[in-house]
Amino acid sequence: MQTPLSEATQPEDQRVREADVPRHDQLGRLYLAFTSPKECFADIARRPTWLLCLVLLAALWAGVAAVVTPHVDIEQTIREQTEALGIELSEEQLDEQLAQAEEGAPIRLALVAAGVPIGFVILSAVFLLLLKLVGSDADYRRVLSATLHAYWPAALVSSAFTAILVQRVDSVPQSALGRMVKSHLGAFLSPESPAWLTQVASSLDVFNLWIVILLVLGMETVGSVSRSKALVVTLVPWGLYIAGKGVLFALLGG
């Protein structure tokens, strides 16, 4: 009787095929992103999946927007935004802006749901380009999958906190929403602080740090690059994004 071949005596091509077989389904990877991200990204490197995670992220952010919108004081938000730009609205102009805001609410929710996939497609392309520049042979599907799963845990937890805390208020301006979850430095600045400083400080967030850590691990794994190269690939877009926000609001007079 023949005995099964041990792993050491199996043909090399068979061992390679078995190494490429994923060990977890898409739901399993969503769970592993919380509990064992290294294993999650290693499985993505074997065979990437992205559709379920992308759909969930789009639905998550659109759902949070739907929950938060009824608690936004639109009038006060418009007044704050126009005052920051040095614009003074008449009562007629304010009423017109309010009517447009109410009519455009469903469109904004649709734009959020559509914008999430577009944003991830572009961001993943940026990561892929940077990986290629540091010598990786990664492909786009693996980078997209790693990016989505890196965002998933922090997005779920932060959205849950926001949806719960917003129920405690009746109506607040848009600017106050960002201060509800005290997870970033901007939440502890005075409301009179310069807008550019608030925007930069708001990016220094616990949840963003969580995302960055997972992105570094994901790019290192699926890109087969060193930890230092993965750190560069991850931090360059983040740094440019934060600096860009600061410069933009500074130019707007904030």
Q: In the numeric block, which tokens belong to residue 224?
A: 């087969």
Above 90 in pLDDT, residue 27? yes
Rounded Cα gap, residues 237 and 243, in angstroms: 10
In sequence order, the 6+-apart residues with CB closer than 8 A to the CB of 156 are 60
Q: 0.75 cut: is pTM over it? A: yes
Q: Which of 104, 91, 208, 92 is nearest to 150 (CA)?
A: 208
Determine the Cα–Cα distance for residues 196 and 182; give it in Å rounded to an integer.
19
Q: What pLDDT score was predicted for residue 135?
A: 95
The dihedral sign for the CA sequence 23, 137, 114, 240: positive
Tens digit of each residue's pLDDT (9 = 90 or more) over 209-248: 999 999 999 999 999 999 999 999 999 998 898 888 778 7
Q: Which pLDDT belongs to residue 181?
A: 82
Q: Binning pLDDT at 50, 70 and 90, where does residue 196 land?
A: confident
pLDDT tens for 86-127 read 667 677 776 777 777 777 677 877 888 889 999 999 999 999
Q: Is there a contact between 137 and 35 (Cβ–Cβ < 8 Å)?
A: no
Indicate whether 171 pLDDT > 60: yes
